[in-house]
Structure 1
Amino acid sequence: MESMDELELLARALPDARPPSDEVVARGRAKVAAARTRPRAGRLASRGSWVRRSWLWAGLATAAVVAVVVALAANLALAPAPVLAPQPSPKPGPNQAMLDLAARIEKLHEPPRRYWRTSRMFSNKTLNEQWVPRSAGDQTVLWRMGGGKCVWSFSRDQGGKYGDASVADFTMADLAALPAETEALERKLREYHRIWNERGFRDSFAEFAPVLGNMLYMPISPQVRAGVLRVLAGQPGTSVHGTAIDPLGREGLVVDLGREGGTVNDVPVRYRLFINLQNGAWQARVAYAVKGGRIVSYDATTVSGWTDVLPRIPKSCPRKG
């Protein structure tokens, strides 16, 4: 049986190295073959000399293979290890904060109760509280206080209407049936936009976004509210301006929905919407003076949510209607 094959020796010498190329193997074997076939001068050697020469040829063969192995090892040592370039992290979009908020609030659970209660403060002058029944036929309670005076009223609900028609003529059932999936919700909101334009308006859907922001104070589920945030975040006129403190001292996410500025008390203003960081609800809409940035007016929600309890109206408040 012949001695260990050169390739086997190579594999054992460098178990972790790549196999040598065909060209390298051919050169190594050529050296061994040349050493074995070199012509020998003089007479045949004795048996002892032949044995010594056999060991000599084996040593030469081994040396040749080892030389190849060493050369390969040297070449491998010089070859730089492959380095994976770090992949840059994807940059967050300009309105990523709205999407992050939507992802948090869609996990909330707000079971509907008998009334949807809202309490809103207008520039620290007027407080407006309203209890809208979830079931058609129940009574809506409205309590309004301002200028040191207050009035309240019961009104029989007509077909379960919500009462705020800024986006659409919603009933409470309509709001409860809105889809939470973003694409389906946007298709529904575009239907409402089309109805508005059929009434004579000519705003694009993106220009309709400031009105859609009103849905954040309506009686919708956290999942639908998250969908509204995603739809608004995708509009070209929407931009997030970080967090700030609203006129009532609460932190909120500040968003510009692209609403055109106007004037309040003859002062040019720009509008910002504050969104509640806990539940994604409409927190306040603030009009800032274009020059100087002071607060000119605001509309802030102080209470918003479901309840089974009707208000206790102060006895000093007369009933209206």
Structure 2
Amino acid sequence: MDDLSAVRERLAVPGPSAKTVAQGRGRLLELIAEERAPRARAARWTTFGLGLAGAAAAALVITSSAAPEPVAPPTARQILLAAATSVARQPAEGAWWGNKLVRGARFHDPTGRYVLQTATAEETWIQAGEMTRPHWIVQRYLGAEPATPQDEQAWRAAGSPTSWAYRTVNPGDLAGNPFDVEAAPGAAESHESADVEWRLLFTGKTLTRMDELPADPAKLRALLETEPGDVRNLLYNLQSLIVYVPVPSEVRATAYRLMASLPGVVAQGPATDQLGRTGPAVLYQDPTERRHDKPVQTRLIMDGTTGEPLSVETLTPDTGELISFVAIEQSVWTDSKPDLPNPQPLNEGD
């Protein structure tokens, strides 16, 4: 039995206990013996038959409706190890790797009366092998809308605006240049990035070949860790490796196993992402962002069958409300060059 099957088995609702089954069976056998008694007892059976039949029915009900014994939900370690086992079986070969994402964020409108949600579709196409080769990014703004039904009511009460002007702060509550948010979607844009340098976040280390990343847990940890014991930054680097990098399946599986070994990772149970997909989820702290002087939470949702990541969400530290998300629509390996719409050079610093 693999780890994923073990998790499913632990989540299954158990039947009645052996003791309950034995008691029910014994009571039914007694009733059958009564029914087969000599004819001299026929009158007695006729008189009390209904009562005995009722008792038999009660025995059946007791046997079938006994409360199941409580079963502990799977831990974060069990969820991540199951995902590692499954993702290690996924194919990861081809001349190109494509990652199709939907990025979104939630923030208040300029008046603070309701919350908006924006979304952008993004495709990244990377050539396998040398990471210094050009890669392509295709982006399309999908628009903005009220985040929840309650926000939609407040939006309608405000006159149902289709654009919002921000003049002092940006949606992340950081000082910035004035900008507008539009409700209408935009056209797709494709950019070629020829000046490529892949760096492992927080480490200052540069990668040249993704297929040379080690599948050995100790070696991968040494590569991704900024300093011994720095768990939060290590978690963030593991998350990036799992979601955004074209690595062999065994390396991605090792990243899951490393994450399973770290403190501060907790199971949340099934969660539904912004694309409506449900899978097991784990929570940990994000070292890159803070709200009210507290680190925000990251929720990683995985496919319960393949182990592939479904979504990475940023949540408020106290209430667990959604701040931003990256939903992975599809990650594909192919030998065919992607059909890119009018690629334009992406200048350094853009």
Report TM bin, short chain. 0.5 to 0.7
Which residue of 119, 124, 129 maps to 2:123? 129
The reply to whether residue 221 of structure 1 matches residue 248 of structure 2 is yes
Match of 1:299 among 318, 326, 344: 326
Match of 2:5 in 1: none
Is the 1:255–1:272 contact (alpha carbons within 8 Å) kept by the matching residues of 2? yes
SS state at 1:278 partner: coil
Does structure 2 retain, via aligned residues, the 8 Å contact 1:274–1:282?
yes
SS at match of 1:298: strand
Listed as ranges, the gaps of 5+ residues in structure 1 are 1-89
2:192 counterpart of 1:154: yes
Out of 212, 218, 221, which is 1:186 matched to? 218
Q: Deviations over 1:211-240 (max 9, x none)?
A: 321110221222222211111111011112
Match of 1:209 in 2: 235
CA separation of 1:93/1:254 partners in 2, compared to 1, >3 Å: closer, same or farther?
closer
RMSD: 3.6
Of 82, 93, 108, the match for 1:100: 82
Q: How does 1:3-42 map to 2 (within 5 A)?
A: none
Contact preservation (8 Å) 1:289, 1:295: yes
The structure showing larger relative contact order (alpha-carbon pairs under 8 Å, at least 6 residues apart) is: 2
Matched, 1:273 2:300: yes
Aligned counterparts of 2:242 and 2:296: Cα–Cα separation in 1 = 22
Instruction: List runs of 5+ in structure 2 lacking aligned partners.
Output: 1-71, 105-117, 142-184
After superposition, the Cα gap between the structure-2 partners of 1:157 and 1:258, relative to the gap in structure 1 and judged at 3 Å, is: same
Go from structure 1 to structure 2 and tell me whether the alpha carbon gap of 1:140 and 1:94 turns closer, same or farther (over 3 Å shift): closer
Q: One-letter code of the match for 1:166?
A: L
Does 1:176 pair with 2:158?
no
Query: Which SS does the other structure have where 1:259 is aligned?
Result: strand
Give yes or no for contact 2:267–2:282 (8 Å, CA) kept in 1. Answer: yes
TM-score, length-scaled by structure 1: 0.56
Using a 3 Å threshold, how does the CA distance of structure 1 residues 254 and 189 change in structure 2: closer, same or farther? same
| 1:145 is the counterpart of 2:183 | no
Q: Give the aligned length.
A: 218
Bigger-Rg structure (1/2):
1
Which one has a larger percent strand, Structure 1 or Structure 2? Answer: 2
Report if aligned partners of 2:76, 2:282 keep a CA contact under 8 Å in 1.
no
Contact 1:254 1:272 in 2 (8 A): yes
Percentage of matched positions with identical amino acids: 21
Structure 1 247/140 Cα, relative in aligned 2: closer, same or farther at 3 Å?
same
Following TM superposition, by how much is the alpha carbon of 1:143 offset from its aligned partner in structure 2, in angstroms? Answer: 1.2
TM-score, normalised to structure 2, is: 0.52
**CA distance in structure 2 between the partners assigned to 1:223 and 1:149 by the alignment:** 37
Check if 1:112 corresponds to 2:107.
no
